[in-house]
Structure 1
Amino acid sequence: MDLDDELRKLFADDRLDVPVRPEADRVIVTGARRVRRRRAGVVFGGGMLSVATMLVAGTAFGVSGDAPQRTPLAAAESSGLTTTTTPPPSSTTTTDAPRTTVVPPPATTEEPTHTTATSTTTTSSSTPTKAKPPANPLAFGPTTVGPLRLGMTVDEAEATGLIQANSEPQNAAGCLGYDWAGHPAAGYHYSLVFSPKYGLVRIGGRTNAETPEGIYDGSSEDDVRAVYPDQSKPHIGHDEWVTPVPGNPSAHYWLTLRNHLVTDIRLELASQDCYQ
C-alpha cells in the first residue's frame, strides 16, 4: 500500500468527523455582519475626524489669503453686530460656524501718477493792502475836530463833555494830557494835549479819523506820500510823517505809520512847547 492509499484511508475514518451545530450557518452570518459594521464604523469615524481636523485648521490659519477674516466677539459687540451661534445637529451633516465677514476695499488698478513738485517763490508787496474808509468818519481839520478846536483852553474843552484827564495828567514840560471820555489810556499816552501858553495843541487817538483829503486809519504810506508829498520837519520817529495841513498854515498833520499803514492821525499846532 503506497502513501496515497494510506492518506485516503486516514481521511475516511469516521473518528475524524466533527459534528455541526444546527444553527452554525446563522451564527457565522451574524458574526460576518458584525465585523462589517465595525469596519464601516471605523472608516466613517476616521473620515469625520479628518473633516473636523481640516475645519479646525482652516479656521485657525485661514485656507488662503482671500478667506474672510473673523471679527473678535468684543469687536462685533462694540460695532453693534450680533453673532448667533447655532449648535451643529446630531445628524452626519456638517454645518460651518457663523462668521462675520469684513469686506476689504476694492483694489485699484490705476497706474501710479508721478508728480513733479514745482517750487514757487511768492514775493510779498512792500505795501500791504489798505483798509476801507471808516463807516462814520470824524473829520480831522483843517482847524477843528467836531466841537474841539486847536488853541482852545482846558475849560472850554472840558465843557464839551468829550474829554477826561489822563491817569498821569502832567508831563515834564508842564503840559496837561487828556483822553477821550469813556476811553482811558495808559499814563502819559495822551490823545489830547494842552499847553499853558498855546492851549489845545494836539487832537488824536480816534480810529474813525479822516482828513478832508481822504487819509484815514488804514491808508497806505504810498497814499500818504501822494496826498501830502512835503514834510514840514524831520522827526526822530522813522514811522511818522509830519506834513502841513492844507488850508491851515499854522497846523500840521502828524501821521503815525506801522507796516506802511496809517495807525493814527493827529491834528496839531505847528508851534507848541509840550514835546519835540
Structure 2
Amino acid sequence: MGDLDDDLRRLFGDDRLDVHPAPDATDAVLRGAHRRRRRRAATSSAFLVVALVGVGLGATQLRTLSHDDPADELLETATSTSTASTTSLPPSTSTVAAPGSSSRAATPPASSGGATTPPGTGTGKPRTTTPSPPPPPPAEPGRLGALLLGMSEADALATGALIEPSSPADQENRCTAYATRSVPDSDAVVISPAKGIVRITRPSTAKTQRNVGVGSTVAEVKAAYGGATQSGTTVLVPMAASPSWSYVFTTNGTTVTMVHMRLAAHDCPTA
C-alpha cells in the first residue's frame, strides 16, 4: 500500500499532466453564455408574438361567425327560394346543422308502388245509397195576361181578353169556351160554372219562365222542368201554386206544338 500511495503522489505531482487554460478562456465562456441568453430571449419573444397573433385571429373568427352565420344564410336562401317558387315541390329532406353537431337526413318512406286506398274504403260491404227525392215542382203563377186560372166567367169577361160569343166546350154543355185576342181558337179558354177558368191556351210565340214553348224539343222541356212526366205525345209539368195547376205540352213526339195551362181540380171533360 505504501508503494501505491507514493506512485499516485508522484503521478499527480507531475507538471506535464496539468491542463493550462487559454488566456481568453474566461471571455469565451462569458460570450457563449451571453449568446445563449439572447437566443432564449428571442425564442420567447417569437412564441409570445405567435400566441398574440393566434388570439387575435381567433377573436376575429368568432366575431365573423357571430355576424355571418352560414346556417342563417342557408336558411334565408331556402326561405326566399320556397316563397318565390310557384310550383309545389316535395319537402326537402336535408337539414342544416350547427357546427360541432351531427344530424341525419330524414329518409322519406319507400313507396310501395300501388294505388293509395282512400280513407274509409275497403273490402267490406258496399254502403247503401238512398235515392234522392224528386225535385219539388217549380212555382209559377197560373196567369196569362189578365186571365187567371180559377177566375170566374164574369171576371174573365170583365178583363176584355175574351172574344164573345162563347161556344159549348162539351157535349153536355156544362162548360163554355172562348177565343182570346192572342189565340183565335174558339176553345182557347175553357170556363167551368163551378171552378171558373180551368184551361188557358198560350200563344204560339209565348215562352214560359224557363224559356220553353211551341217549337221547343221534348228534351228541352224535361231539362227545364225536372219533374216533367211524359204520356204518349203529352208532357205534363205540375206547378207549385194555389190553386194547383199544370203545364200541358202537346207534342208530335219530339217537338212541342201547343202549350196549355190547366187547373188540377177541373170538371170539364174537354179541359
Q: Tell me the TM-score range normalised by the shorter chain.
A: 0.3 to 0.5
More helix by share: 2
TM-score by length of 1: 0.42
